[in-house]
Amino acid sequence: MSERITGHTLLVSLIATPIRHSLSPTMWNEAFAKNGMDYAYLAFEVGNEELADAVQGIRALKIQGSNVSMPNKQAILPLLDELSPAAKLVGAVNTVVNVNETGHLVGHVTDGTGAMRALASEGIDIKDRIVTMTGCGGAGTAIAIQAALDGVKELRIFNRDDEFYANGEETVRKILEHTNTKATLHHLEDQEAFKQSIAESSVYIDATSVGMKPQEDLSLITDPAVIRPDLAIMDVVYAPAETKLLKFARENGATIAFNGLKMMLFQGAEAFHLITGEEMPIEHVESVLFK
């Protein structure tokens, strides 16, 4: 790295807290090295209090762009000059582009496009399909909005009766107002409706934190009857690599069932392309991160 960095090296940042555990710096710096790009990526421990100064710093230091994570994904919205259509609808930003170093900052959200690319890479075209989802937190909202923008015919979102449910109502309202998708929100407690919905769907996406620690022993699908060979299943969780849902799917004959690793890699690749204009070498990055 020390041999690579010169007076010409361009900087991309990540602003979030806590952030020291993040895989993003490894992901991006490995990609820069592999592509022979004169860039560096650094993580900055920034919370809401320092956020305005940090955003001004992106402009002043001519940082090329930045990733944004919790707790700044929503707080950054009023500090930017422009939002992509998806970021505007989702109400969150995970990528900022400093357009031509002019200080004009455009906010994007790539979690949804990352999820759509993950589905496409498994041969799944969601256009004109019925999709059942669980979860309407950060990941669920980004996926639901992008699926609607990409032309999914019908989206049935199930969430338990918790603090995220109202968020789901807002997401459905936005989808109905701004896209041609038929979207509905249902209580996950209505298990008969949930099973019926999956039976009528081509794709099931679990966008909840179920399956990840400390909920690694849980799966929102428990009835083998709902697993059909032609039902594609995507779990946004990638640690553990095989969640309870994916184990259950494998044991009951699902042919396409995969974790959130691809979504994670593709959302990074989308951000990489937005900021640098280059393609992230995904296979190389994956081999380094998950060897």
What is the smallest separation between the CB atom of 57 and ligand NAD, expressed in angstroms? 26
Tokens of 182: 């038929």
Query: Which of 21, 20, 24 is closest to 41 using CA atoms?
Result: 24
In this complex, which beta carbon is closest to ligand NAD, that of residue 117 or of residue 129? 117
What is the smallest separation between the CB atom of 241 and ligand NAD, expressed in angstroms? 12
Contact 290, 262 (CB under 8 A): no
Q: DSSP for 2-24?
A: TTT--TT-EEEEEEESS-TT-SH
Candidates 34, 62, 73, 182; catalytic one: 73
**Phi/psi at 12 (5° precision):** -120, 140
In this complex, which beta carbon is closest to ligand NAD, that of residue 160 or of residue 284? 160
CB 164: neighbour CB atoms within 10 A?
A: 17
CA distance 80 to 97: 10
Q: Where along the sequence are the contacts to ligand NAD (CB under 6 A)? A: 111, 114, 135-140, 159-160, 162, 164, 188, 208-210, 212, 215, 218, 236-238, 260, 263-264, 267
Tokens 């259950």 sit on residue: 248
Contact 92, 67 (CB under 8 A): no
In this complex, which beta carbon is closest to ligand NAD, that of residue 98 or of residue 140? 140
In this complex, which beta carbon is closest to ligand NAD, that of residue 29 or of residue 267? 267
CA distance 140 to 260: 12
Please confirm, yes or no, whether 174 is among the known catalytic residues.
Answer: no
Query: Which of 116, 36, 42 is closest to 279 using CA atoms?
Result: 36
What is the smallest separation between the CB atom of 2 and ligand NAD, expressed in angstroms? 31
Q: Give me the torsion for CA of 208, 113, 18, 77, rounded to 10°.
A: -110
Q: DSSP for 165-223?
A: HHHHHHHHHHHHHHSS-EEEEEETT-HHHHHHHHHT-SEEEE-SSTTSTTSTT--S---
Helices (H), the chain: 24-35, 48-60, 85-90, 111-121, 138-149, 165-178, 191-199, 244-251, 261-276, 282-289
By residue count, the chain amounts to: 291
What is the smallest separation between the CB atom of 128 and ligand NAD, expressed in angstroms? 25
What is the smallest separation between the CB atom of 212 and ligand NAD, expressed in angstroms? 4
In this complex, which beta carbon is closest to ligand NAD, that of residue 65 or of residue 140? 140
In this complex, which beta carbon is closest to ligand NAD, that of residue 102 or of residue 287? 287
What is the smallest separation between the CB atom of 9 and ligand NAD, expressed in angstroms? 28
Nearest to ligand NAD by Cβ — which residue? 137
* Enzyme catalytic residues: 73
